[in-house]
Structure 1
Amino acid sequence: MLPKPHGGRLIERVLKNEERKRMVEEAVRLPCLELTAELAKEAMNIASGVFSPLEGFMTKADCESVQISGRLADGLPWTIPIILDVSEEEAGRLGDRVALSYHGEPFAVLDVQEIYAYNREALSSAVFGTVDPRHPGVERIRSLKEMLIGGRISVFGELNGPWSGHRLQPMETRVLFEAKGWRTVVGFQTRNVPHLGHEYVQKTALSFVDGIFINPVIGRKKAGDFTDEVILRAYEALITHYYPKERAVLAILETEMRYAGPREAIFHAIVRKNFGCTHFIVGRDHAGVADFYPPYAAQEIFDGFPDLGIVPLFFTAFFHCGRCGGAANEKTCPHDGERQDFSGTQLRNSILQSNGKAGQTLRPEVAQVIQSSKNRFVE
C-alpha cells in the first residue's frame, strides 16, 4: 500500500474555477513580490503537495524548529527550511496579502502571517554543518535578503518551462502507481547522468519492490554539475533501452540542489514519500559536496528519524571491476587493483578527458547523449 503523504494529507493550494478567477482579479490590486526562478518553483512545490504538509513559506517558529531539531514546530520530521527572503524596504510596504510574480506575471498570492529577522550564520551552521563560504549552500544563504516572510500561499497561475512535459505532481504519480498495481515503489534522487553504478543500485532495489520512480532534480546546481538537459536525456536513453516499461517511471523534481548532505537526504526522502514512494535509495555521500560530510553521514542521520514513514535503502559505493566484469562493491569484490570508480567527480573528469566517452562506466546510449551535447556542464 502506498504511504500517506507526510503529515497525513496531500496539500492542494492550486486554485480552480471561480476561486481562481477571483484571485486573478484581486492579485492585480495587491503589492507584488517578484520571485526568482528557484523561489517560484518552491511556491509551486508547496501548492502542488510536493512539500506536504507545508501550506506556505515557513514562519519563524517552524524555521527555528527545523534548524534546531530537524522537525517542524509540531514535531513532524522536516530538515530543510523552505523560506522566502525580502529586503527591509520590501517588508515595509507589504500588507496582509501580497501577490507573487515571476517574469512580471503574478501567479500566486501569499497571506502574510509574519515577517521576521534571522541569523544567516546560525541558519548555515544548522542546515549545512558549516559556515565555510566554499560551501555552495552557505554562499547561497549569505546572498539572502535581510528578512524572511512566512504565510500560506494560493496559486492561480502556471510556470511553464522547457521541461514541463516531464513534470508529474504527487496527485498524478499516486494515481499512476496505483493504476500500475504498484504497492511498493522505490524513489531515486539524482543530479547526475546515470552511470553503471547507479543502474546497478536502482535495479538491485527494484528487485525487492514493484516499481522504481526515477526523479532527477531539475533546477539550480553548482558549476561543474551536469546540465538539466543532459541529465534528462541521458535517463530517457537508459530507461528506453535497459528498463522494463511497466516497472519504471521518470519524472522531474523542479527544485534547487542545496548540497546539505545528511539533512538533504531526509528532505529528499520526505518529498518522494509525498509522491507515493514506500522506499528511498540513499547512497554514499548523498547530496554532499567536496569533503564537507563523512561518506555515510547521509545514511546515519536516518537513525534519528524512526517516524519518517518511508523505508531508506542504504548502499555502499560501487565501482566497475575489470576482473569481475561488472559493477561491484567492497563487500563483493576482492580485486583492489582492477577497480574503476563510479563517483560523479571521476565520471566528469573521465568524460572531459575522453570527449564524452567513459569506458566501462556508462551505457553506450548514455555516452552518446553526453558526447552529442554542446553544453554538458553547468558553468
Structure 2
Amino acid sequence: MEELQNLRTKLDKIDKQLTSDYVKRMEVCSEIGKIKKQTSKNVEDISREEKVLYNVLSDVKDELKPYVKEVYKTIFSTSKAYQREVSQTDGEFVKKIKEAIKNEKSDLEMTATVACQGVEGANSHTAVKKFIQVPSVSFFKNFDGVFSAVDKGFCKYGVLPIENSTAGSVLEVYDLITKHNFYIVKSLKLKIEHCLASVHGASLESVKKVTSHAQALRQCSEFIKANKLSEEESSNTGVSAKLVAESNDTSLATICSPECAELYGLKILKRNIQNQSNNYTRFILIAKDLIVLKGSDKVSIVVSLAHKVGSLSELLNKFSLAGLNLTKIESRPQNSDFEFLFYLDFSGDITSEKVLRLLNELEYSSQYFEFLGSYKEII
C-alpha cells in the first residue's frame, strides 16, 4: 500500500504540472484567437494540427501513441472552442437566435392556421388542438404536404409526429426535415390509446383484416398476431377509420383512437390494444420563422460529420465539456455512400451563454449544421 501511495503522490505532482502547462497553453491560444479575428483568419487550421500531432508523436513510444493522440485531439477541440469564445465570432445561426431572443414571446396566439397530415379525428388532429386553442386546420395527404404548407406560407404552423415510445422514430419525417425551411416551436408528448373498431354488426370473430397507419400497426403488433389478422397500411388512422366506415364490411376493422371511432360512427370491438399501456407519441409544432417562447428548455439540431474515426466521439465530447445532456440521437443516411446526418436533441436554455457557445462551435466545426429550434415540451 505504501508503494501505491508513493506512485499516486508522483501522479499528483505530474497532474499539477500538466494543469499548469495546459492553462498556459490556453492563454496562448486566447492570444492567437484575437490575432485570427483581427486578420479574419479561420480558427480551424487542420494542417497546423497535423504538424503538431506529428511532432508530438515522434518522441512517444509506439504503444502510447494512440493514447497521446486522443489527448491532443481533445486539446485541439477545447483550444478551438476557447479561441472562438474569446474572439466572439458569432455564426449565422447564433446571430439569428440572438435576434429571436430579443423578441421572446410568453406563448403562441390563440388562433392560427395549422397544417396537419390525414383527416379529421387522426392523432395529429388531436395534437393540433393541444398546441393551438382555436385552430383553422388544413389537412394534407402526406407529411411533405405539411412541410410545404408551412414553407410556402400557406399555413403559419404545421403539426408532425416525430417518434413513438413503442414503434420508434417516424423516419419519413426525419428524412424530410433537411428538405424544408422551418423551426420547431413546441413539442407535445401525447398518450395514445388504440382500439379496434368496425362497422355496426361486426364482432371480434368476424374481423379478418385490419387497416391503419404503419406506426399504429406496429404499436399493436401483439394483438394483431394473437388474433391472426392480416394487415393493410393506410396513410393515417383517421383515413383508415373513414375507409372502414364507408365499406360496410364486417370483416374489415381499423386501429384508431376511441374519439376517432366515435367521430366516424364505428363500433369499438376492443379497447387498449396497444403493446404497451404507456404508449406515447411525440409531436412537433413547426413554423417558418424562428420563434423563441419563454421557458423553452429543449434544443434540436442536425449535423453532418467527417467520415473518419472518432468524429462522433469528438461531437459527443463537446456536449460533455459544455455540461449539457443529450436526450436523443438519430442518424439517417445522406445521398452519398456511407455518409450520415445526425439529429440531436438536448436539454438547455437557449438564452444561456454555454448553449450559444456550443451551437457556435458546432456550426463552425461541422461539415453541415442546421438549427431546428428551441422549444418546451407539453405533457
TM-score tier, shorter chain, comes to: under 0.3
- TM-score, normalised relative to structure 1: 0.21
| Structure showing the higher strand proportion among its residues | 2
TM-score by length of 2: 0.21
